[in-house]
């Protein structure tokens, strides 16, 4: 009578028992479509801007002379 979703070996196998309603089926769909793989993540930061020099946060200012180096 128990309803459950068992993910085995990081998504290699799924054991789904008595999934009957909308939310449960959406959770099963989500879990079965996650692809666990290695990915490269690149982080970058802009050079110093005029707003950085002035202590402002946000906006679209030009780079300072130091930021252009």
Show the 3-state SS of 40-51.
Answer: CCCCCCCCCEHH
- Encode pLDDT of 4-58 as tens digits: 999 999 889 999 999 999 999 999 999 999 888 888 889 888 899 999 999 998 8
Q: With a threshold of 0.75, does the pTM exceed it?
A: no
pLDDT for residue 43 = 87
Strands (DSSP E) contained in 1-69 are: 4-8, 13-17
Domain borders along the chain are 1-56
pLDDT value for 51: 94
């Amino acid at each position: 009578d128990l309803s459950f979703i068992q993910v085995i070996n990081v998504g290699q196998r799924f054991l789904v028992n008595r999934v009957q309603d909308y939310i449960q089926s959406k959770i099963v769909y989500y879990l079965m479509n996650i692809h666990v793989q290695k990915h490269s993540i690149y982080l970058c930061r802009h050079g110093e801007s005029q707003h950085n020099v002035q202590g402002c946060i946000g906006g679209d200012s030009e780079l300072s002379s130091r930021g252009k180096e």
